[in-house]
Amino acid sequence: MATEAALAISVAVAVCSLLWALALLIRLRQQQRELRRSRQALDLQQQTLRRKLRTSLTAAVVAHEINQPLSSLSLISDQLIGQAGASADLAAALPMLQVLREESKRVVDLIEKMRMLLRSVESEQAPICLAEVANSALAYLRRPLAAASVQLSCRGLDTSRALLHGDAAQLQVAVTNLLRNALAALADQRPAERRLAVEIRELRQEVELKVSDSGPGLPEPLLPSGPIGEQPWATTKTTGMGLGLYLVGATVENHRGSVQLGRSDALGGAEIILRFPLLEATEPIAPSRTK
């Protein structure tokens, strides 16, 4: 009996030891999987940071190179405007010289906004109406749209009063670039087929801006949807780096919004939807920092 009892105890101890070893092995494997996932997440973060750094450096170089001739152009414009009173030829060209100076200053302001998106600086945020931002961007592009014979349709821009918390200047730059990309995508279409649609909708807790066109659509790597900030140079244009898409993605991220990329069922081309939290649906927030 004593021998049998001792044998039973030994078997029980062995089974317990085996179960403990199995539990330890399972736990070790779980920790290994968690460590592997952590490493993968860290690698992804490092890749994203490298892409953003490369993008920031490239944009900084581009901005620096653009600023040099712009400064000279602005200085020459000021000098010619100052001399217009003493020359009949310059007096006749005065309106064009003034337009040249104002457009130069507009580009300088645009470059500064680009830098704001690429630096860790506080943006000046306040309650703004997204419809007003979209209308301002369309007004700025009125002449290029008319010159390209683009058929423009708008919905919600005259009726929506939805507010979001943001930087109106940054958002206008982003929406303008979004519309410029759509306009560029329509360049190879026949004039009768150049269509652009801009729509604003108020959702339950968000306000949505949708821009659709009848162009060739977005590149396949960007479809069906995804964070465009991770692929800043993707573009449907045959020339250029597509910096506009990066600015859009950076601005949306700065305003705690989201981007949806796809193909328009109605127009057949690209469809880009920006969504932002409604001001009424969120608690007041402090000015955010750009990425």
Crossing angle of the two packed helices 94-118 and 243-254, in degrees rounded to 10: 60
Q: For 122, which DSSP code?
A: B
pLDDT for the residue numbered 119: 56
pLDDT for the residue numbered 275: 94
107 and 168 assigned to the same domain: no
**Which residue positions in the chain have pLDDT lower than 50?**
120-122, 225-241, 281-291
pLDDT for the residue numbered 18: 75
194 and 145 assigned to the same domain: yes
Read off the tokens for 170.
Answer: 């940054």
Q: Are 114 and 63 in contact (CB under 8 A)?
A: yes
pTM of the predicted model, to two decimals? 0.57
Please state, as a whole number, how many other Cβ atoms lie within 10 Å of the Cβ of residue 291.
Answer: 14
pLDDT for the residue numbered 25: 80
Q: Coil, strand or helix: which one is 19?
A: helix
Tell whether 151 is covered by a domain: yes
Tell whether 72 is covered by a domain: yes
222 and 153 assigned to the same domain: yes
Read off the tokens for 72.
Answer: 């000279």
Reported residue count of the chain is 291
Crossing angle of the two packed helices 168-185 and 130-140, in degrees rounded to 10: 50
Domain boundary among 60, 93, 118: 118
163 and 186 assigned to the same domain: yes
Q: For 287, which DSSP code?
A: P
Give the separation between CA 249 and CA 240, rounded to whole angstroms: 17
Tell whether 25 is covered by a domain: no
Print the domain residue range for 74: 52-118
Cα 27 off chain centre by: 42
**What are phi and psi for residue 181, nearest 5 degrees?**
-60, -40
Tell whether 113 is covered by a domain: yes
Tell whether 289 is covered by a domain: no
